[in-house]
Structure 1
Amino acid sequence: MPTIDVHAHLIPGALSREAVARIVAREGFNKVTPPMEWSPEIAIEFMDRYDIRMQLLSALGEMTAPAATAMNDVGAKVVTVHPGRFGLLASLPMAEPEAALREVHRAFDELGADGIVLVTNYEGAYFGDPRFEPVFAELDRRTASVFVHPVAPPGFPELCLGRPGPLIEFPMDTARTVVDAVFAGLFLRHPGIRMILAHAGGVLPSLADRIVNLGVQPWVANPLGLTSGQLRDQLSSLYFDTALATTAATMVPVVELAGVDHIVFGTDFPPGGDDVAGKYLATLLSGRPLSAQDIETLDETVERLFPRAAARVVA
């Protein structure tokens, strides 16, 4: 059983209500919204039920600089109280790059954050946007582990077919921002960044061969003139979590692209829901498509990516 959950959300009451309301309004949920009730005690009860020892907490959605500061402060306090059960992935206000750069320094140097969480687009800007370059350069310098969670894309009302973002547009927006980053050469310039994609990278692993082979055709914009090898090397350097993504349809393309040693365990608690998390966890532990030996590597990978958090886990 994997012991460290890299995909778990920090939803601290009043501070999150505005963010959750914005997400619900933007992303087309039906009359019933995903589970959002959270406290450290609720999270610990969930972990104990499934023999999970630690969750790395990340906040939901895009944030302004004040909101990111406040949320990171709350997350740091949770870790201070429960250091053996939680870690912090700090939010950055990437739409305000100078403020985001300041928050990187504060998160690591003052709050002791274990890593960073980003969303797939900020006010419609994706990871290849040159405005983000100073932030990514600093994350590279720090060899930071960066967890990427999807949000709805620009033009979502026209794309969603009347259904909420998590159904199909979240997995697509993950591919969208990574493709933008890859053609911008982000991971060639900044190989120190260890980027982890939620939900097994969405549709990205299944599209990887298509991106690599068609991406070098003369009718595809490729301003850096990247080769197929450079495209593939960037894609295969990524990491992928198992949240809502443990079946062969999702895991086999990940293994083919990046290998078992680039997979980490995630649950998407609490929005994923206890019953859904249980079903995907049962599939993960069934021995197909990942073997018991494969499962053992998940914690080993997390220990490489988040050594400070792993060192706090109580046996």
Structure 2
Amino acid sequence: MRATLASEDEREIFSTAPAQGTTRLRRAIAHHLRGTRGMNVDPNNVVIGAGAQLLDTMLVQLLGADKVYAVEDPGYLRLTRIYQAMGCKVRHIPLDDEGVDLSALQKTGTDVLHLMPSHQYPTGLVTSIARRYALLSWAAERPGRYLIEDDFDCELRLAGKPIPALASIDAAQSVIYTNTFSKSLSSALRLAYMVLPDELMERFRCNLGFYASSVSSVDQVALARLLESGDYERHVNRVRVRAREARDGLAALVRNAFPAGEVSIEHADAGLYCTVVAERGTDGSSFAQALTRSSIPFIDISNCYWCADGASVPENSAQILVQYDDLSPEVLNTLESQLMGHSVT
């Protein structure tokens, strides 16, 4: 920000940004997506917004509140609240081992499905390639159906090759791609964006183009500089290294403390969190207690089901979400002492 204010043209950084956001940032994002997500994006189809929640509400205005919206279950419960607050009918679709349960989806009359195919929250599940094509086929079956691809932490894959975005294999322009810099930089920045299909982009200009940009031009130019210089990519690489070290340290502690496998780590190759599964009726339940005593925050995934739809919470195991950015070497040492105390007793 200091470099931007000191070196950029005042006419650029203090001018009023268009409703979509500054041209410079939209071009930088399009170039970034081409290199990291395999997407051939027209900068004119990018819309910048002050956080994903604002963009979600704009999408309802764009697509219509009379549509039936569906979200994953378990999932990010705030999405349900947002869609309900906008007056939408909301359906909750269960997951299977490959992603969104397609047979359940087809029974709901859904028009718009909001999903996280690259790293589902809170389970960490990655949607299979076969299921991705099946979902694209579902969307193409009827005019007006859309998939909202929430790619919120795609840059932070920790093992293997990056998984292509759902939007990169969409030939029918039925995917609305959304992403945020909250995970890779900071949620305090309130910077997110979406990539709209051509038809929706034209509708945005006609129906929502009256909005003022919700992100300051200074912030947008500063982020554009970060992307253009390569500093953003280098920063993400450093975050990825730290997350990988935290993940490996956590995995080693779990293996040592629970050699019988009553506690295991799943879906740990992407994003900044993993799922820890502890068998019920065993000493595995003590893992959550060790986390609490070590002051490590975690989320019980059973609390992420929308019970109003009668979702079935797994009964044979407890599943919790643990974030890597809460696992410094010092915190891991504390957790190790707690777990070793458990294994001895």
Shared fold, TM over 0.5: no
TM-score, scaled to structure 2 = 0.30
Larger Rg: 2
Q: Which has the higher strand share?
A: 2
TM-score, scaled to structure 1 = 0.32
